[in-house]
Structure 1
Amino acid sequence: MQDGTPWPGNNTRDHPGMIQVRVSAVLTNGPFLLNLDCDHYINNSKALREAMCFLMDPNLGKYVCYVQFPQRFDGIDKSDRYANRNTVFFDINLRGLDGIQGPVYVGTGCVFNRTALYGYEPPHKPKHKNLGCSLPVLVGQARKVLNQVRRGAGFDDEKSLLMSQMSLEKRFGQSAVFVASTLMENGGVPQSATPETLLKEAIHVISCGYEDKSEWGSEIGWIYGSVTEDILTGFKMHARGWRSIYCMPPRPAFKGSAPINLSDRLNQVLRWALGSVEILFSRHCPIWYGYGGRLKWLERFAYVNTTIYPVTAIPLLLYCTLPAVCLLTGKFIIPQMRWSGVGIDEWWRNEQFWVIGGVSAHLFAVFQGLLKVLAGIDTNFTVTSKASDEDGDFTELYMFKWTTLLIPPTTLLIVNIVGASLEFPTLSTAATNRGARSLGNYSLLSG
């Protein structure tokens, strides 16, 4: 501020709560929205302009639900010991999805088309069935109702008016100003509305019970019922026929903080994996949800991969046990691996942490997800603590905090060490004997 003190709320680790999306519809009703995590900030002033190039394109824009930017982070050590940058996911997977129906929504660094966030469908193409309510249909109904009111509606017309009003209230809630804002394709608030009226309506819309008995959280806005609501929200948009865009400007658009030690990183991965398992065993499972809609097959396959990956913890657990068994029995299996796209050091860090997270966080997520879905036992997730490491010495990188998530990988480590210690003396003796025989043969030949 003018006196040199930081602006209140600028601290990424301590700031007030943000206004919800439906309140912004009453106050400003911009046709596009920027979604950022609380620990992210704008790093590229031209990022929003690049997003607008897609969303306001006269041909492509009407089919785009959001423009997703890759996540970039501060405070990560050069070796990226725990694969915090997720370069394989952001620089390979999401870029590949951009050529199908678009990248998944990752919860931050995303510019939304408000119309898509309200559960509308994009313009329909022939030979496609409706999954929801299209914007032109609702606008046409609203205009018809307004015309009936102006010319003096009869009994039947009044009944039709009441039915239309009830339908809109069930969808968006009981706020006339808010419902009117959802029908404005180009955004903006009604010119006749005064600031006092809008403020009063905003207080009503922001109330905790406003979305009760409406479609908020199930068909409109961010979808409830999962700790990874981002994946579920984007999936429902793609199922309606929208497509998304992946935008990777040379200068990172947004930056945030990442967990710096192993315990926090594992708890973060546990939360993601648990959310994926919840979606996998819910009615929104991409294996069967939305058939007859407008979701492309390759996009569906990508969403299946996004939700089913924690289950790989079980075969991965067996795979990690095999080396110890091989060392104990003397029979070895050498897997062949291939890599491409990302540097070998980044790929190796990613694979290294995939094994650690797979036999710990993913394994716990499978069992917790099954308990929640089958037995109704809910588990609280641990909020990931993040550090900015302002001193630059990564003092917290090697901080060790014990967590139950470390039990499986620690057990596997001990088993492998025991197996290696039992087998290596035998291998060393055999190598010595072979060396002695080779030297004897060489002496005979030279003689």
Structure 2
Amino acid sequence: MVGFQGPLYGGTGCFHRRKVIYGLSPDDNGITRKLSKEALLQTFGRSMEFTKSAAKILSGIKTSSIGPKIISSYIETAYQVAGCDYEYGSSWGREGIQLLSGLCKSLFVVRVNKVGWMYGSTTEDVLTGHTIHGRGWKSTFCSPNPPAFHGCAPPGGPATMIQQKRWATGLLEILFTPKNPFILTLNGKLQFRQCLAYTCVTL
């Protein structure tokens, strides 16, 4: 991994910083002004608790420890955000806020490119991973003891073949999108050797 931006993200067993998932790059310093309520809801969904939390993270404000009285409201918010229909009408998986200073009353100085996982491929995990690297982020291995995650494999031959077909189709799709590794190297911050690693995976 010397000279690379780190291991490739392939779906499971992974933690992401919230700034990464919210679409920022390492060079973005956050919000200099408060973002309007409407813009927050349009980008991060209809949960006010979650959008307020996202705004704090993006602005670099450290969140205080939570007391037992509000844990129950956070659990309710988590159920809402984890729902299958939460992302509809928001910017999850697509273009987020692109406001520049001076255009509106309350603005991001930074540009939020994409929020959450990247859609448009059946291998959205790899697409998400190399988009994150394309913004300039680096990844690293972390092997806690005991293991933080346990995965499972397909139970038999037919299920394995279906999964392999899905992966092959999705990885090929990535090569024919604006997010392919070569374009992210030319127009983004994906390093050349990291580009070669992703190209090897997609081929």
Is the structural similarity TM-score above 0.5?
yes
Residue 104 of structure 1 is aligned with which of 8, 12, 25?
8
- Percent pairwise identity: 38
Instruction: Give matches, 1:10-159, under 5 Å.
Output: 96=1, 99-122=3-26, 124=27, 134=28, 136-138=29-31, 140-142=32-34
Evaluate the alpha carbon distance shift between residue 275 and residue 192 of structure 1 in structure 2; reply closer, same or farther with a 3 A threshold. Answer: same
Deviations 1:180-210 (A, max 9, x none): 2122354567669734544554454344433
Q: Distance in 1 between matches of 2:159 and 2:79?
A: 37
Counterpart Cα distance in 2 of 1:109 and 1:228: 16
Post-superposition offset of 1:293: 2.4
Distance of 1:103 and 1:296 partners within structure 2? 13
Query: What secondary structure is seen at the aligned counterpart in 2 of 1:120?
Result: coil
Secondary structure (helix, strand or coil) at the match of 1:282 reads coil
Q: Is residue 291 from structure 1 mapped to residue 163 from structure 2 by the alignment? A: no
- Distance in structure 2 (CA, Å) of the matches to 1:190 and 1:257: 34
**Other-structure match for 1:397:** none
* 1:214 matched residue in structure 2: 90
Q: Which amino acid aligns with 1:295?
A: L
Cα distance in structure 1, aligned partners of 2:30 and 2:22:
14
Q: Deviations over 1:258-314 (max 9, x none)?
A: 34654443332212111101212223222324633221111122222222x1xxxxx
Q: What is the CA–CA distance in structure 1 between the aligned matches of 2:66 and 2:123, rounded to whole Å?
A: 35
What root-mean-square deviation, in Å, do the aligned CA atoms of Structure 1 and Structure 2 show?
A: 3.2
Change (3 A) 1:269 1:202: closer
Q: Is contact 1:181-1:188 (8 Å) kept?
A: no
SS at structure 1 position matched to 2:183: coil
Question: In the alignment, residue 92 of structure 2 is paired with which amino acid?
Answer: W
Work out whether residues 184 and 190 of structure 2, in 8 Å CA contact, stay in contact via their aligned partners in 1. no
Matches within 5 A, 1:302-321: 302-307=197-202, 309=203
Deviation at 1:107, TM superposition (A): 0.9
Q: 1:166 and 1:192, CA in 2 relative to 1: closer, same or farther beyond 3 A?
A: farther
How far apart, CA to CA, are the structure 1 residues paired with 2:88 and 2:8?
Answer: 28
SS where residue 16 of structure 2 aligns? strand
Closer/same/farther in 2, CA of residues 187 and 235 from structure 1, 3 Å limit? farther
Structure 1: runs of 5 or more not aligned: 1-95, 125-133, 143-160, 310-447
* Alpha carbons of structure 1 residues 201 and 254: separation in structure 2 relative to 1, 3 Å: closer
- Residues 45, 86 of structure 2: 8 Å contact kept: yes
Show the 5 A alignment for 1:273-352.
273-289=168-184, 291-307=186-202, 309=203
TM-score where L is the length of structure 2: 0.71
- Superposed displacement of residue 239, structure 1: 0.9
Could you tell me which of 174, 180, 183 is aligned with 2:52?
180
Question: Which amino acid in the other structure matches residue 178 of structure 1?
Answer: F
Using the TM superposition, give the Cα deviation of residue 102 of structure 1 relative to its aligned residue in structure 2, in angstroms.
0.9
The one-letter code sitting in structure 1 at the alignment partner of 2:30 is V
1:141 partner amino acid = R
Paired residues, number: 180
Q: In 2, Cα distance between the equivalents of 1:166 and 1:194?
A: 24
1:246 to 141, 150, 156: 141
Gap change, CA 1:170 and 1:250, over 3 Å in 2: closer
Q: Quick one: distance in 2 between partners of 1:194 and 1:212?
A: 27
Q: Is 2:146 the counterpart of 1:270?
A: no
Q: CA deviation at 1:237?
A: 0.8
Deviations 1:356-379 (A, max 9, x none): xxxxxxxxxxxxxxxxxxxxxxxx
* Residues 1:224 and 2:119 are matched in the alignment: yes
Between the aligned partners of 2:189 and 2:153, the Cα distance in structure 1 is 36
Question: Partner letter of residue 214 of structure 1?
Answer: S
Aligned mates of 2:65, 2:13 — CA distance in 1: 26
Are residues 187 and 120 of structure 1, via their aligned partners in 2, closer, same or farther at CA, if it must alter by over 3 Å?
farther
Cα distance in 1, alignment partners of residues 68 and 52 from structure 2: 12
Report the Cα distance in structure 1 between the residues aligned to 2:139 and 2:133, rounded to whole angstroms: 8
2:41 aligns with one of 162, 169, 184? 169
Q: Is the 8 A contact 1:118 1:220 kept in 2?
A: yes
Q: Does the CA-based 8 Å contact 1:109-1:254 persist in structure 2?
A: yes
Quick one: which amino acid aligns to residue 33 of structure 2?
A: Q
Q: Of Structure 1 and Structure 2, which has the larger fraction of its residues in helix?
A: 1
Residues 254, 167 of structure 1: alpha-carbon distance in 2 compared, 3 angstrom cutoff:
closer
